[in-house]
Chains A and B, each alone.
Chain A
Amino acid sequence: MKKSVFIGTLAAASVTASLAAAGTLDDVKAAGELKCGVSTGVVGFAAADANGVWGGFDVAVCRAVAAAVLGDANKIKFVPTTGKTRFTALASGEVDMLARNTTWTYSRDIDLKFDFIGVNYYDGQGFMAPKALGVASAKDLDGATVCIQTGTTTELNLADFFRANNISYEPVPIETNSEAQAQYLAGACDVFTTDASGLAATRATFENPNDHVVLPEIISKEPLGPLVRHGDNQWGDVVRWTLNALISAEELGITSANVDKLASAAGNNPEVNRMLGTEGDLGAMLGLDKSWAHRAIGVAGNYGEIFEKNIGEATPVGLARGLNAQWTNGGLIYSPPFR
């Protein structure tokens, strides 16, 4: 029994490895479906609604890519992955791309053989605690019990933070965000730690969000972005420039409202014309048609629109743009030019 399982694993590994070698762009076109790895449910970033339709900030990237490549933002198979299963799912070819609040780190990029194609959210790890606990700073947490999702960079940051400040803690490892919420709300742990955006999203689902505070310390840099397998540069370019198109669109003032009008005829901004295919043929260089960027932006608008609709200040998640404002507004969001 043991032996047969082992052989089965080897066989599965060898089959999937050979799949991964083919061109992902051609595979996606042939399948007529984009397989996108998302999280198991973080409100605002990736969550299925009552009808089972996926939506959110990360999901929007998947939809834009599907629209650019397949011409239909709904031809997507969403594969929910946990912090533990996500990399195996991508490496084995179970998903074509991963858009799942994944931190871009050196070892993931180099050693795990992935390509991060950009950053769609600049984040940092924070702590959330009940107001009743009376904690003002993360440095007061000596001896606290900390709920933490396993298989994430947060686990390593947490160990580093407490070691650097020479204080002790009790880690409670948890598999999914919903279990972490249950334990935190029942008081089985004092604080909950994850990326600050995730904390805001989690707090938004609480019955009384105002009973909980996010502590001021941000203990790490967490640039979150979509990623693809290393070695398939064509596919990497497709995903990278789809994200850049969404970002440039905001900078150039292309919105879901005016994109159809701007794409119908060449205007007086050459970059807009190049992007939307009314001048030159940038799409052909990517292996796509002329209006790929038009379709990508047409799904849910530009980066700023997607941000405001899913996680912006008007939503329950309520995140300010902060670092994620355009570079022209003092943020870090910046796209290379379309030229």
Chain B
Amino acid sequence: MSTITDPVQGGFRISMLLYDTRYRSMTIQVIALIGFLLAIGWLFGNAAQNLAALGKPLNFSFLGDTAGYDINQRLIEYNSQMTHGRAAVVGLLNTLLVAVLGCITATVIGVLVGIMRLSKNWIISKIMTVYIETFRNVPVLLWIIMTMAIFIEVFPKPSDFRGADAVASMKLFESVAVTNRGIFIPSPVFGSGSMAVIAVFILSIVGIFVFGRWAHKRQDETGQILPTFWIKLGIFFIPSIIVFYVMGQPISLEYPELKGFNFKGGFHMRNSLIALWFALSLYTAAFIAETVRSGIQAVSKGQTEAAAALGLRPGRITSLVVLPQALRVIIPPMISQYMNLTKNSSLAIAVGYMDITGTLGGVTLNQTGREMESLMILMAIYLTISLTISTVMNVYNERVKLRER
């Protein structure tokens, strides 16, 4: 006969932190964390101390000083008498502009190329393979510089448009000038009454969404399908055009004209913007194409066959069966492609595009000698942009991902 005794309920002893497996891993983690924080603290302290020894303690007041330099592409009002902080904002907007433009075109090209690479047509699929492999495997900086070099050498200079026997001429009914300094396109001039046209245009875009929802609901209830594309196209154009003529054509176009050294009037898309945009788009599109291809191939063939057996037409199979499932695979790597494009845009100065790296991290850094501060702000800005892209895309990913019930 034996008596069952309870295990000894000893109190907590310090040594248990090391010898008791229940606590040991936590002890190690706490020690590692303290060590990590100390190391970071030492690095920061050391940097601050050495900068102070150099006579350059961290100081951000230079952002309020007069910049003194000009920037060619300004999305907001800026001149050389404004501050370094303002110049940084101008650069930031230029970064965002090329990033947004680049992400849109890269997605369009990437999706098309990705689908075409799966084409049964041998020539098309091989051409796309060659495109993807050449662009993916050459550093993007070389593509940017080469695009710019081609741009500068191939297109005519503004003086070629001059004179009776001009070498070059404007395209599209004398409205667009393609020069090696950039492309000049007509810009709208808003006269009185143009607000009505704009308001109607915005209302028709809202109308398109409302109509889309209504058509969807109607289809759910009755099963009838409307030719929504043509109706939406009509809503997009017809009301605005009617109001445009009713109000007496209040919006006119300002055409670029050769005056003095350059074309004046209209929008000027600088060669640096176009070269950077083009190169970044083509480069990133090659990666996106591969993502799209893998996403589509991840949807099992049985899905397509099952949909076909149910009598769906090929277009609807793609949009209703294949793409929704492919997107789940495509979206996560797409996020990192968008972030890559944004970060790669920091190579802009290679072609003289004044992005945030060119203004804050370039001229401002150089003129003020505040390397540490400028780079810290730059890093914080790129980090913020990347995290924002990531957050937005993750929200979208949550919406399209497989819901497990």
Contact = CB atoms under 8 A, between A and B. Distances in A.
Interface of A: 2, 5-7, 9-11, 13-14, 17-18, 20-21, 83-84, 87-88, 91, 107-108, 111-113, 132-133, 141-145, 150-151, 155-156, 158-160, 162-163, 169-175, 182-183, 186-190, 230-231
B271 interface: yes
B363 interface: yes
Contacts of B153: 186
B54 interface: yes
Given A18-B50, A20-B54, A150-B349, A142 B369 contact: no
A187 B354 contact: no
Nearest to A173: B352
A145 B54 contact: no
A150 B47 CA distance: 28
Nearest to B42: A14
B191 interface: no
A-B pairs, 4 with minimum CB distance: A187-B157, A17-B50, A112-B369, A151-B366
A186 B180 contact: yes
B337 to A, nearest CB: 16
A50 to B, nearest CB: 24
Given A88-B371, A91-B54, A173 B349 contact: yes
Interface stretch (B68-76, B117-125, B196-204, B278-286): B68-76
A13 B51 contact: yes
Contacts of B309: none
A194 to B, nearest CB: 15
A259 to B, nearest CB: 39
A107 to B, nearest CB: 8
Contacts of B264: 143
Nearest to A170: B72
A290 to B, nearest CB: 35
Contact of A175 (B47, B50, B350): B350
Contact of A142 (B43, B44, B260): B260
B72 A10 contact: no
B383 A13 contact: no
A158 B70 contact: yes
A160 B68 contact: yes
B373 to A, nearest CB: 12
A115 B99 CA distance: 41
B265 to A, nearest CB: 12
A163 B70 CA distance: 10
A112 B367 CA distance: 9
A188 B70 CA distance: 18
Interface in B34-48: 40, 43-44, 46-47
A10 B47 contact: yes
A14 B46 contact: yes
Nearest to B154: A186
A187 B379 contact: no
Nearest to B268: A170
Contacts of B80: 156, 159-160, 163
A151 B68 CA distance: 12
Contact of B180 (A7, A111, A188): A188
Contacts of B46: 10, 14
16 contacts: A2-B382, A6-B376, A14-B46, A17-B47, A17-B51, A84-B365, A108-B369, A113-B56, A155-B70, A156-B80, A169-B70, A170-B72, A170-B262, A173-B358, A173-B362, A174-B352
A147 B122 CA distance: 47
Interface string B78-93: 0111000000000000
A156 B382 CA distance: 27
A163 B80 CA distance: 9
A7 B272 CA distance: 33
A171 B53 contact: no
B262 A143 contact: yes
B262 A183 contact: no
B72 A172 contact: yes
B391 interface: no
A4 to B, nearest CB: 11
A10 B153 CA distance: 42
A150 B54 contact: no
Contacts of A155: 69-70, 363
A182 B149 contact: yes
Contact of B261 (A112, A113, A143, A171): A143
